[in-house]
Structure 1
Amino acid sequence: MHPKNFVICDVEKEYARNLMQAVGARRELGFQMHLFQSLEHLEAFSKKKKIHILLLGEEFPIDKRQEICADERYVLVKGKEKELLSGERGIYKYQSVDAILAQILEESMDKGELGYGRDTKDGQLIGIYSPIHRIGKTKFALELGKELLKDGPVLYLNLEEYSGGGFYFPEQTGQNLGDLLYYIRQEKGNLGLRISTMAGQIGEMDYITPMPVIQDLREVEEEVWLKLLREVFSNCIYKTVILDLGDGIKGLFPVLRNCQTVYTLYTDDPVSLAKLQQYTENLRLMGFEDVLEHTVQKKVQMKAGDA
């Protein structure tokens, strides 16, 4: 699912900038923020990109506002509501960002959907992916998980073709990610309890043993991965889910799109940089350029034994 374009257009430049920064800081909501001071520039933008949520200052004439297309329309009012168009809702301008967002989310966010249409205030999905192999990606993911434990429970899922098996995941519970996917397909209840019985631990971070058979991993459809993640966030205690992603899964780019943050590791040797550039171009050519907008490219120094 595409991220939602959240657009603010207001004549008070400092107010609008502060509001944009405050909303944009809520990264878990996954909004793509855009700021304008004039309706002319806003109208030009609306002809190129879809506007999901629009906040307009009350100063703009009503006949001009109606020319701007948007899924959800709010007018920032300073006191008694001005005349509003059909489909517009007034929202008091000088209140806290939390109050503004509470009204918008209550009325316009799609509940229960994965990714940017999903209410993610209680969790974040982080993807770790690199087109460059043997770059220490799994080690980085596990270290990141340890850091994120400070904010709440973390679940680590390895979706690589070759995960390292018992080297990284010594605690075997007799069940693996394939068993969890089967359970999800059966649509049985109490997923949280099921995961608790399947999960091993690295320190205090939970993990599900990766799928041991490569072909089984490759055959899992994109929709099944997305359903799994929806169910985990809806029914489990985890504040963060970390996906350690390889090239072998179907729907890699859609899964990356649904992550609030994607960490892409690279080194500065010519071959690695060429692979990184090719990956970036593939995202653009396939219509997934928005993945780059929430990607953090991280340069690493390779050491013996990194994988």
Structure 2
Amino acid sequence: MNRRILAILDSEENYAYRLMDFITTKGNVPFEVHVFTRDDKFYSFLEKEKVECLLVSENAYQKKVEALEIPHIIILSENGTNLNQALYHVNKYQSCDRVLREVMEQYSGGNGKEIAVTACRRGKMKIIGIYTPVGRCLQTTFSLTLGQMLARKHRTLYLNFEAYSGLGKMLNREFEGDLSDLTYYFSCAREKLFYQLKSLTECVGGLDFIPPADVYQSLSGIRGTDWIDLFQEIEKITDYEYLILDLSDCLMDLWEVLKNCDLIYTIVREDALAEAKTSQYEMALETMKYKEITGKTRKWMLPLFRKLPMHFGELTYGDLAAYIRKEVFPELLRKEEHED
């Protein structure tokens, strides 16, 4: 694949190279990144190469930049003075992650020709579905903890399908988009999915995630086959090794999605009501000819944890993380090694 060129023109050398390092190490970003701290070097480069996207800081901005035949010109704004407001601006002094997300968002919405993006990954992306018919059993905390621990060594993406996850409030963040936006791009502008995925991706404790749908009804018409197609496209265009699905009954065709998972974790409890719900769920699977879901399922009866981390960014510490490390990981990673 021919990678398109993203140029950073900024006389602030340390910043420019730090941003370049972040973009190139973020993973599967379809740009070859070049840094220029001097105008003459940049314009000499343009005589030989085509630049797809230019990030130019205020300190390096000149009027003649606007005349360049570059499809995407983005200003790294410092104080916003005497610049062409018709051009797209990104706040320079925010996190590199935020800069990249805003750049990818602008790129996905632009009129430039889209390029095919193909993942570079060893083996297939493993899908782990986490679902229980039993309520209030730490399913989301378990899912996030498992995801953060996997993300230490493996590229991992987490998707939450709860009706009301509360994730934004728990993380004290306001999300600018969510899973419903991703599904829109998948159905209406699939060629831009990669860029939209990058612009929507948030991170907590090293784990990438797409914010859950703010209004879960916006996902109510999406069939299981559509979700499976989306997961396959994510596998195709990214280098994620694991996709963790925190599932709920709000998902249409839940069983079809579970059937497509490589591994399913179900958290159970030993009280009578929980056991009755689990038994009814398993009988329903058998009655409706979905018994293969049971074959992929590993049940976990979690012990009573004395204390759990108060912040979702610290889940890899504490009793639950220790339990996953001791009980879940050996079996999961042994299974992966055997399949490889």
* In structure 1, C-alpha distance between the alignment counterparts of 2:284 and 2:122, rounded to whole Å: 28
Larger mean Cα displacement after TM superposition, 266-275 or 223-232: 223-232
Q: In the TM superposition, what whole-angstrom CA distance separates every residue of 1:226-264 from its partner, at most 9, and x where no partner exists?
A: 121111111112111100000011110010011111000
What residue in structure 2 maps to residue 228 of structure 1? 230
Structure 1 residue matching 2:191: 3-state secondary structure: coil
Equivalent position to 1:291, from 290, 293, 296: 293
TM superposition shift of 1:206: 0.7
Q: In the TM superposition, what whole-angstrom CA distance separates every residue of 1:94-132 from its partner, at most 9, and x where no partner exists?
A: xxxxxxxxxxxxxxxxxxxxxxxxx99231000000000
What residue in structure 2 maps to residue 177 of structure 1? 179
Query: Displaced runs of 4+ in structure 1, greater than 6 A?
Result: none
> Higher helix proportion, which one?
2
What residue in structure 2 maps to residue 115 of structure 1? none
What residue in structure 1 maps to residue 146 of structure 2? 144
Q: Give runs of aligned pairs for residues 65-144 of structure 1, distance below 5 A.
A: 121-144=123-146
Q: 1:267 to 1:289 in 2, by over 3 A?
A: same
Equivalent position to 1:262, from 261, 264, 285: 264
Q: 1:133 to 1:304 in 2, by over 3 A?
A: farther
What residue in structure 1 maps to residue 62 of structure 2? none
* In structure 1, C-alpha distance between the alignment counterparts of 2:122 and 2:289, rounded to whole Å: 24
Which residue identity does 2:150 align to in structure 1?
A: L
* In structure 2, C-alpha distance between the alignment counterparts of 1:216 and 1:225, rounded to whole Å: 14
Q: In structure 1, list runs of 5 or more residues that go unmatched.
A: 1-118
* In structure 1, C-alpha distance between the alignment counterparts of 2:241 and 2:259, rounded to whole Å: 19
* In structure 2, C-alpha distance between the alignment counterparts of 1:137 and 1:194, rounded to whole Å: 28
Equivalent position to 1:211, from 210, 213, 229: 213
TM-score, length of structure 2 as denominator length: 0.52
Which residue identity does 1:143 align to in structure 2?
A: T
Q: Give runs of aligned pairs for residues 188-207 of structure 1, distance below 5 A.
A: 188-207=190-209
Does the 8 Å contact 1:226/1:255 carry over to 2?
yes
* In structure 2, C-alpha distance between the alignment counterparts of 1:169 and 1:178, rounded to whole Å: 20
Structure 2 residue matching 1:189: 3-state secondary structure: helix
What residue in structure 1 maps to residue 249 of structure 2? 247
Which residue identity does 2:205 align to in structure 1?
A: G
Which residue identity does 1:283 align to in structure 2?
A: L
Does the 8 Å contact 2:155/2:239 carry over to 1?
yes
TM superposition shift of 1:214: 2.7
Which residue identity does 2:198 align to in structure 1?
A: S
TM superposition shift of 1:193: 2.6
Larger mean Cα displacement after TM superposition, 211-220 or 121-130: 211-220
Which residue identity does 1:160 align to in structure 2?
A: E
Q: In the TM superposition, what whole-angstrom CA distance separates every residue of 1:118-173 from its partner, at most 9, and x where no partner exists?
A: x9923100000000011100000011002211442111000111212324444444
Which residue identity does 1:280 align to in structure 2?
A: E
Which residue identity does 1:152 align to in structure 2?
A: H
Which residue identity does 1:184 align to in structure 2?
A: F
